[in-house]
Structure 1
Amino acid sequence: MIRRRRMVRHFTDRPLAPEMVGKVLRSALRAPSAGFSQGWAFLSLTASADRARFWPVAAPWVTENWQSVAQAPLIVVPLSHKKAYLERYAEDDKGWEDRAEARWPVPYWHIDTGMAALLMLLTAVDEGLGGFFFGIAPEYLGGFRAEFAVPEEYTPIGAVVVGYRAEEQPVEGSAATRKRRGTDEVVHHGQWGRLTP
C-alpha cells in the first residue's frame, strides 16, 4: 500500500458510497496525537454544491492546472486546534499549567493533523481510490474561513481530495520530474554524516 501511494491529480466523477466516505474519515481518528489530545477537526465536503463552493475560495490554482480534480466526490480539510494541546498539557498528569507554546519543540497540533491526513490518503489507496493533498495558500484562508464558517482557532493544514482515479492519465507534478531520494542519501547511521552502516 505504501509503495502504491502517490498524489493523484486526475479523477472521474464516479461517486463514492457513503460507507466509503465514512471509512476514509474514521481512519483519520486513528492517527497518533501527543497526550492523546486529538486536537483536530475535519471539514468534509461531499455535496456537489459544497465542493463547487470550495474551489474558487480555497484553491483555484488546483482546478486551473488539473480540471478533473474538481470531479472528485470527497474533499476533506483537516484543521489543527492548538488550544486543545495547550489545554491538555495543562491537566494534572502533564502539569504545564502556564499553557506556554514555547514548551513545545515543534507544533504537534499541525504534525498530528498531518498524520491524520496521511491515514486518509493511505485508506484511499487501500480501497483502490486515488488521493491528493495540497495546501491552501495564505491569501485564500480568509475567504475559505468565511465561506465555510471555520473558527479562527482552527488552522487548515491543507486539503485531501479522494475519488476514483482517471486511469488513462500519466503521473504529473514533481514526481514526474524528480527521483525519490534513497536511504543512502538521507539515513545517517550512528551519527550525522555516516550514510552507510
Structure 2
Amino acid sequence: MEFADVVARRRMVRNYTDEPVDPAVVDRVLTHALHAPSAGFSQGWAFLRLDSPADVARFWDAATPPGDGSDAWSAGLRRAPVLIVPLSSKAAYLDRYAEPDKGWTDRDESRWTAPYWDIDTGMASLLMLLTVVDEGLGACFFGIPADRVDAFRAAFGVPADYKPIGVVSIGHRAPDRRSPSLRRGRRDLDAVVHRGRWSA
C-alpha cells in the first residue's frame, strides 16, 4: 500500500470481528514503533502486549468500572483480540539529559517546554496505528480512565515510573456506526496552517 493511502485510510476502528490477529503482524507493529523519534534518543517507552483472551479480559476488568461495557461502542471495542498499552517513562528522559553529552545534571523538569516522554510515546503509537492500516487491519487509540490507572497497574505489575498514555486496540474490522465525532468534519489546511505569521 502506498504511504499516502495508509494515511488517508487511517481511522479509529471501534468494532472488530472475533478473528484472531497473526502474532507476526503484532511483532511488526511493535518493531515499527521502535522507529519513532525520541529526544536525546532516550527511548523512554515500553509497550505492554496483551494478546491472549485471558490478558485482554483482565485488562477490561481492571480498566473499566464494574458494569461498563454493555453499550454497542464498548462491546465492539472489547472484541479486539490484541491490546497494546504504550507507557512513557519521564525518569528515562531526566536521566538521559543528566548524562555528560547533555549536561543538565540537576534533572530539573522546568527545562522541558513539553513532556517529550509522552510526546515521543505518542509518536510511537501513531507508527503502530499506521502499521496496522498497512497490514489491512483496524486499530483504535483510546485512554484508560484516570480513576482506573491504579487498578490497571496492579493487574499487570506496571512499575510506578511508567505511565500509560493510552491503549491501541488491534483487530479485523467489522462494520460499525459512523462516529458522532465525525460529523464535525475534518478541518482544512487554511483553517490550521499559518504562513509566516499567525492569522485569524
What is the TM-score when the length of structure 2 is the normalising length? 0.92
Query: In structure 2, how many angstroms separate the alpha carbons of the residues matched to 1:173 and 1:193?
Result: 30
Q: Pick from 185, 188, 197: which aligns with 1:191?
A: 197
Unaligned runs of 5+ in 1: none
Does 2:45 match 1:37?
no
Q: Is the 8 A contact 1:131 1:161 kept in 2?
A: yes
Unaligned runs of 5+ in 2: 1-5
Number of equivalences: 192
Identity of aligned residues (%): 57
CA separation of 1:96 and 1:184: change in aligned 2, threshold 3 A:
same
Correspondence for 2:172: 164
Q: Is the 8 A contact 1:63 1:69 kept in 2?
A: no
The Cα of 1:171 is off from its aligned counterpart by 2.5
- Where in structure 2 are the equivalents of 1:88-167 lying within 5 Å? 88-166=96-174
Q: Pick from 160, 181, 185: which aligns with 2:187?
A: 181
Query: In structure 2, how many angstroms separate the alpha carbons of the residues matched to 1:123 and 1:180?
Result: 22
Q: Is the 8 A contact 1:55 1:63 kept in 2?
A: no
Correspondence for 1:17: 22
Correspondence for 1:49: 54
RMSD: 1.3
The Cα of 1:62 is off from its aligned counterpart by 6.1
Deviations 1:55-98 (A, max 9, x none): 12114556643302112111000000000000101111110000
Runs of 4+ in 1 over 4 A off after TM superposition: 60-63
